[in-house]
Chains A and B, each alone.
Chain A
Amino acid sequence: MSENPLRDEIAKAIADNDVILFMKGNPDRPMCGFSARTAAALDALQTPYAAVDVLPDPRIRQELSALSNWPTIPQLFVRGELVGGCDIVTEMYETGELAKVIGVEPPASAPEEAPVAAEPGAPPLQIQNNLQN
């Protein structure tokens, strides 16, 4: 164990969840437009994902960015690898790459633009309480 339990906790969450989104707010109540768009792209793929709200404790964001070498929120990880933030995820959703990376079927009627609002999908796993030590 390192001397940074919060960073270890974040690393473990990334390792334990195939698809995990660090965002402001949660998928039902995103607190930032960029987080909302990223969650909406995942919702449109109807794939389950873990979501972590970084807002309750500013240290979550600090440690996450230190770990990922990515300065902004949201951040999407798939099987332990950083995929990107809102721009990259949105672009990959539109080209079908996001479905491929996650390993799901693209939506039947591939929309030309990323969805703007969340659609009903599998309820996201909430694990943010584990990160508020």
Chain B
Amino acid sequence: MPTAEELKHRIEAAIPGSRAEVNGADGQHFSATVTAPEFSGMSRLEQHRRVMAVFGDELGGRIHALALSTRPE
């Protein structure tokens, strides 16, 4: 079962300079606030795509839901 800690590390490892706060005690429904320098100049849609791409097919499967809030650093 995925943990909030795992998601946090994977986001921060995949997106340079990013910081992620992840919640999700039930192991299925997570929410994340992610800041990253590269988000500046990206639309909100692109920022969300960038974070979701870290998890690929796991979204909707192993990770049932990931509510996102993103902003540039």
- Where the two chains meet, the residues of A that have a C-beta atom closer than 8 Å to any C-beta of B are 34, 69-73, 82-88, 91
What separation, in Å, do the CA atoms of A84 and B45 have in the docked complex? Answer: 6
What separation, in Å, do the CA atoms of A51 and B4 have in the docked complex? Answer: 33
Chain B: number of interface residues, binned into ranges: 10 to 19
Within 8 A of A (CB), among B18-73: 44-45, 48-49, 52, 56-57, 59-60, 65-69
Chain B residues in 8 Å Cβ range of A69: 49
Complex partner residue of A87 from B48, B49, B60, CB under 8 angstroms:
B48
What separation, in Å, do the CA atoms of A20 and B14 have in the docked complex? Answer: 33
Please tell me if the beta carbons of A82 and B45 are within 8 angstroms of each other in the complex: yes
Please tell me if the beta carbons of B44 and A88 are within 8 angstroms of each other in the complex: yes
Known A69-B49, A70-B49, A82-B45; judge A87-B67 contact (CB<8 A).
yes
